[in-house]
Amino acid sequence: MVRPGFVIGILGNIISILSFTSPIAQFRHIVKEKSTENYNGTPYVATLLSCSMWILYGLLDPDDGFLIVTVNAAGVTMQAFYLIIFFIYSSKEKRVKYFGFVILDIVFFGMIVAFTIVAFKEGSRRTFTGVLCATFTTMMYVAPLAALRTTIKTKSVEYMPILLVFFLFLNGCVWFTFALLVTDIFVTVPNALGILLGAIQFCVYLMYRNSTPVVIELEADSFEKQTESRGIDFQRITVEDNDGSSKKRTLSRLDAFPIIRSPSLSPNQSNSVEKYEDDLENGGVN
């Protein structure tokens, strides 16, 4: 007779693989635009390490480890594929950052494998790796929260990986049920937390999905602060027309940009302002 735990485990494998494939649409967009834009690669780095740890845990569990090993082997393969695409289309800064994270993943995982074999007897290895797996699965569920700050700040859900959040939530529900059936505390705890975090992210998504996005113009703000800090006032300047009469006009920020070629006002650019003032004294603006 087939055990209920095995059936739920098969279902868990299917849902987990679906969760691993959920970012495909996002990566199609990245390839099409040839840029990672504001997408965050942290969830894929965290999931790569989490899946690697669960493979080790499954190999140490002779009873229910087979299903754990198969699904996480698929997870490692797909996360590696996503990260390769992320590296190709990221900026140099992001590429260095995430490449460093992946190297840390590999080094850390190698150290854990060596330490588990050397420092623990056979009976204690599963407990040690189980604690680590629970920790890194929690990280996997927490990682998508990195997109929440951008979502709340911009009031836009464009960069929230909602399919990934949905499948992680569903994944947590199934594996939580599996853990209860086979009585595995190391699978129970992180997946219970995954259900909670998934619910929180759904609430944020529903809150902002129909909101008007906020455009953040950091460069313009920086320009304004720099001009104010140097005592330059572009609000009102008296201009003489060709007929000799004078009038006041208001210069907008767009008027100022052709004069000041860069948002940064360095001493080397002060000649542009002086030239503008000389033009005013001579009777007009060129």
Please report, for the chain, the start and end positions of each structural domain, with discontinuous segments joined by +: 4-208, 218-282
- DSSP, collapsed to helix, strand or coil, labels residue 184 as coil
pTM of the model: 0.61
Are the CB atoms for 106 and 158 separated by under 8 Å? no
pLDDT in tens, 208-267: 887 776 665 544 444 444 444 444 444 444 444 445 444 444 444 344 333 333 333 333
What does the pLDDT read at residue 241? 47
Characterize 249-278 residue by residue with b for buried, 16 or more Cβ atoms within 10 angstroms of its Cβ, and e for exposed: eeeeeeeeeeebeeeebeeeeeeeeeeeee
- DSSP, collapsed to helix, strand or coil, labels residue 1 as coil
Question: Which stretches of the chain score pLDDT less than 50?
Answer: 218-242, 244-273, 276, 280, 285-286
Are the CB atoms for 254 and 211 separated by under 8 Å? no
Element (H, E) at 237: strand 236-240
What does the pLDDT read at residue 55? 92
The one-letter amino acid code at 171 reads: N
